[in-house]
Structure formats: structure tokens, C-alpha cells
Amino acid sequence: MFYREKMNKKFCTIIAGPCSISSKKELTNIFKTIYKDINYFRCGIWKARTKIDSFQGIGDKGLIWLRELQQKYNVPVAIEVGTPSHVEKAIKNNIKVLWIGARTTVNPFYVQELCNCLKGTNTEVWIKNPIYPDVNVWFSAIERFKSIKLKKIKLIHRGFFSLNEKKYRNAPMWELLKETKQKFPELDLICDPSHIAGNKKYIAEISKKAISMNLNGLMIETHNYPKKALSDANQQINSKELKELIKTIKLNKL
């Protein structure tokens, strides 16, 4: 067991890392900079992008880099998966946590295929809410993963698409989380302020709200040089800003 998998309940779980990586050097630098401050390192290697000419992620070779860093620094790594092939390759490389993205959660066919692939494994799975604010779609996806007897499941609140949202990239719709917590009180609920915000200047205020609602953790996109990031540059904070945010949380000053 990784020493950060269980922690003092006084503090929330901290998950951090870049939206995606473009090189081994870039990945290693950010991992070494923040690993002492976090419970899980998050990273995208396969990216579900709307535009075909957008950066699609570094791909399979990133798994090898992540496996090496996970072992060397004793911090569990979390990546997004969208196909059975992703799952198989991640498990083969001993990646500890797989998360199901908002685009995947909405499709029962995809979810069931991933469940079939994960059945009988000891993999930890995190399930993000779907893009659109229909909690029943989210609940159905969660139930599918529960049905295969996975022992470790967490839920990720990343906000919902809304034509009326003006301030944030995605509407938080905090009221839906109360229903989620009532439905699945045994599952940790993590907030992803980066995807809700869409702009790093709102990360702290969204984190504060999540903590006030007794959510179990924060998933924060972090990059040593956010302006150079090939995806979601505006919503990533740098390592110094992450450390300051964590310090503020631990001092109960957020």
C-alpha cells in the first residue's frame, strides 16, 4: 500500500498534476516538484479532444514514464481511460488509479466495456460526472462499476456544461452533489476545481466551497509552466501556487 493512500481525515485528499504531458522531461520535472505535497499524481496521456488537430496526448509511452516515477517516488498515479485497450495497458504498467472522463460516463456502451475489462481486478476507479446535468446518467455509470464488485471507487465532481454559465467554464451545480452524497454515502466525492473554473483565478474560491460542503478532496491541474501547456493552459496553476493552496487548506484559512 502506498503511504499516501490513507491520510488524516482532518485534511482533504490532494490530487495534482498536469492536464497532459508532452515529454518525459516535462513530466519528471513536475512530478519531482510536487510529489511530497500530494496524495495522488494525476496526468493525461490519452486526450479526448474535440478538434482533430488538437494535442491528443503523448500516448502509450507515457505509461512507462509514469510507472517508473510511481515506483521511484512511492506516489500512486491516476490517468484517464476511455477504451478497454487503455485499461489493459494501464493495468499492465501497474498504474494504480484509472478515471472515467465526463465524455465517457454518458455512454452506457463505453462504461459497460470498461467494466467488463476491469472485472476481477483490484484497480481503483474514479468516475467523473457527465457533461450534462443529469445525475441519473452519473448514477447509472456508478452502479455499473459497483456491480462488478470493485473495492475502491471515488466520484469526481467536475461541473456541468451550461449555456447560461458566465463566470466558470462549467456550472458547479452544487445542489446536485447533495443528492449524490445521499445516494452513495459510502463513496468519497472529490472536487475538480480546474474543470469547473476554466481559469486559474477561480481555483481557490471553488476549492473553498468544496471544502465547506465536506467533499473529500481536490483534483487540481498543475504544471510547472502552465502557459506552455499544450492543453487547458488557462486552468492550470504552477507548483508554487499549488503549495500555497495546500498550506492554506491545512491551516484552515481557505
Query: What would the pLDDT profile of 235-254 be if each residue is shown by its tens digit?
Result: 999 999 999 999 998 877 66
Query: What would the pLDDT profile of 139-183 be if each residue is shown by its tens digit?
Result: 999 999 999 999 999 999 999 999 988 899 999 999 999 999 999
| 15-250 to CATH, choices 3.40.50.920, 3.20.20.70, 1.10.10.10, 2.60.40.10 | 3.20.20.70
pLDDT tier for residue 113 given thresholds of 50, 70 and 90: very high
Residue 7 has pLDDT above 70, yes or no: no
Over the chain, what HEC string results? Answer: CCCCCCCCCCCCEEEEECCCCCCHHHHHHHHHHHHHHCCEEECCCCCCCCCCCCCCCCCCHHHHHHHHHHHHHCCCEEEEECCHHHHHHHHHCCCCEEEECHHHHCCHHHHHHHHHHHCCCCCEEEEECCCCCCHHHHHHHHHHHHHCCCCCEEEEECCECCCCCCCCCCECCCHHHHHHHHHCCCCEEEECHHHHHCCHHHHHHHHHHHHHCCCCEEEEEECCCHHHCCCCHHHCECHHHHHHHHHHHHCCCC
Query: What would the pLDDT profile of 35-74 be if each residue is shown by its tens digit?
Result: 999 999 999 998 776 677 666 668 899 999 999 999 999 9
pLDDT tier for residue 8 given thresholds of 50, 70 and 90: very low
